[in-house]
Structures are given as structure tokens and as C-alpha cells.
């Protein structure tokens, strides 16, 4: 799950990026509208966090342009004041949610989880599949009822695979979802590595990750 944070205050952007990173999201930060356009053009995002007040224009323009271009990526808008007008305007422009600054990082995290969840067509956070019980909010994983510890990257990968359950996910797509731009130089071998680590932890759960040579990986129930 890759997130774009459009925010020009370094402190806020950094804090949000760190917090969301811990929560299993891969984050890219864009301090200007121009950067935001560039990022959104290069890769797809599971959601966008958009500050309205930016040095080179209003986030509303960015939002409107994206929507006009047919992009339906969930957007969470950050507003400075709790003005009903501004709030309504943002939603009219196509925002999916808003948060008033200053905000609690945990709330940002929770709302983003709700947005990406909604996109995947799920009503609740928890995902149960076979003997596997995964809650991305609590970052908790259970296999056949027993709690299993997994690292951030492992959970992020699992999250992606479950969200695309039954579909073959190309390795580069998984890579995009796991790493932001600042980690672009990481070897693609790491995906194979984490798949191997995940497989060990999922052993006996009735869920497995199939390899499709030259195509990618697919998570699904056994059999």
C-alpha cells in the first residue's frame, strides 16, 4: 500500500511519513503541486493525503485535475480551519475524507486504512482467509488461532497479496507497493526474500503463495 503525502511543512510530512511507514504503508512526500503531479504520474497510489495550502497553488486544483482525468484514487484532504465551506468544497471537488490540522497521527492512520479498505470493497479491517486472520490496523497476524509475529515489511507484503487475493501480482507491482522512491535502489530480490519469509510463517494456514514464473506471485487458498 503506497501513499502519497502532499504537504509542504517538512515537520508534518516527516512525522506522517514515519508514522504511516511504521503502520506498513510505503510513503512518498511531495512538498509542491508540481512534485505531486510528477509522483502521481509515475506510479499509482492506494491513497493520497493532500494539504490544501501549498506554495505553488491550492490542493483543490490538484484534486480537481486528477478527478477530471478520471483518477479515482482516494484522497484525504488536510484543512487548516474547520470551516464548513471549505470542507464542503473539498468533498465536492472529489475528496473522500478530510482531517483538520493539527491532527492526531493515529487518526490519520485509521482514516487511511478505512479509505484503502473501502477501495478493496471490504467493510471491515480484519481479513480472514482459511486459517489466516490478519488485522492490518492492529498489525496482528494469527495462523490457526495462534499469534504469529511478523515484521513491518512482511505484513505490508501480506496486506498487498491478500487485497489482491486470487490475482497474479507481478513482482514489480509488489515492489512499488512495498517501497517508496527513496528505496528505489533496493534489489528486486528482496521481494523473493520476503515471500520466502512469509511462506514460512503462513505454513499450515491453508493459504499459500504460488509462484508463477516470469509473471509474479499469487496468494490463495490451497487446493
Partner DNA sequence: GCCAAGCTGTCATCAAGCTGTCATGCGGGC
Partner DNA sequence: GCCCGCATGACAGCTTGATGACAGCTTGGC
Which chain residues interact with a second copy by CB under 8 A? 19, 22-23, 37-38, 41-44, 82, 100-107, 138-140, 147, 149, 151-152, 166-168, 170, 172-173, 210, 212-216, 220
Kindly identify the residues of this chain, within the stretch 122-181, that bind DNA according to CB under 7 A. Answer: 149, 151-154, 171, 179
Tell me, what DSSP letter sits at residue 95?
-
Q: Based on CB atoms, which residue is closest to DNA, 95 or 132?
A: 132
Q: What would the DSSP string read from start to end of 158-221?
A: HHHHHHTTTSPBPHHHHHHHH--GGGTTS-THHHHHHHHHHHHHHTTSSEEEEEETTTEEEEEE
Helix/strand/coil for 110: helix
Q: Is 208 in the site for DNA (CB under 7 A)?
A: no
Q: Toward DNA, which CB reaches closer, 12 or 169?
A: 169
Tell which one of 199, 207, 208, 222 touches DNA (CB under 7 A).
199
| Cell numbers at 142, concatenated | 494469527
- Summarize as ranges the residues that interact with DNA (CB under 7 A): 149, 151-154, 171, 179, 183, 185-187, 189-190, 192-193, 195-196, 199, 211, 213-216
Amino acid at each position: 500500500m503506497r501513499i502519497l503525502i502532499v504537504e509542504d511543512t517538512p515537520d508534518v510530512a516527516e512525522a506522517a511519513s514515519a508514522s504511516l511507514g511504521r503502520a506498513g504503508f510505503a510513503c512518498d512526500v511531495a512538498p509542491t503541486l508540481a512534485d505531486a503531479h510528477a509522483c502521481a504520474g509515475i506510479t499509482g497510489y492506494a491513497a493520497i493525503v493532500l494539504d490544501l495550502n501549498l506554495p505553488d497553488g491550492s490542493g483543490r486544483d490538484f484534486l480537481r485535475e486528477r478527478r477530471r482525468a478520471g483518477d479515482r484514487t482516494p484522497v484525504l484532504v488536510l484543512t487548516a480551519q474547520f470551516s464548513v465551506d471549505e470542507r464542503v468544497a473539498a468533498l465536492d471537488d472529489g475528496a473522500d475524507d478530510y482531517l483538520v490540522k493539527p491532527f492526531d497521527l493515529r487518526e490519520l492512520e485509521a482514516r487511511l486504512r478505512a479509505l484503502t479498505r473501502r477501495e478493496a470493497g471490504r467493510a471491515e479491517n480484519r481479513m480472514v482467509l482459511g486459517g489466516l486472520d490478519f488485522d492490518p490496523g492492529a498489525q496482528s497476524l494469527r495462523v490457526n488461532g495462534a499469534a504469529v509475529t511478523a515484521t513491518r515489511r512482511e505484513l505490508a507484503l501480506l496486506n498487498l497479496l491478500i487485497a489482491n487475493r486470487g490475482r497474479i501480482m507481478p513482482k514489480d507491482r509488489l515492489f512499488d507497493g512495498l517501497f517508496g522512491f527513496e528505496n528505489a535502489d533496493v534489489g528486486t530480490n528482496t521481494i523473493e526474500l520476503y515471500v520466502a519469509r512469509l511462506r514460512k510463517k503462513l505454513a499450515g494456514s491453508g493459504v499459500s503463495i504460488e509462484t508463477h514464473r516470469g509473471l509474479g506471485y499469487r496468494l490463495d487458498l490451497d487446493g
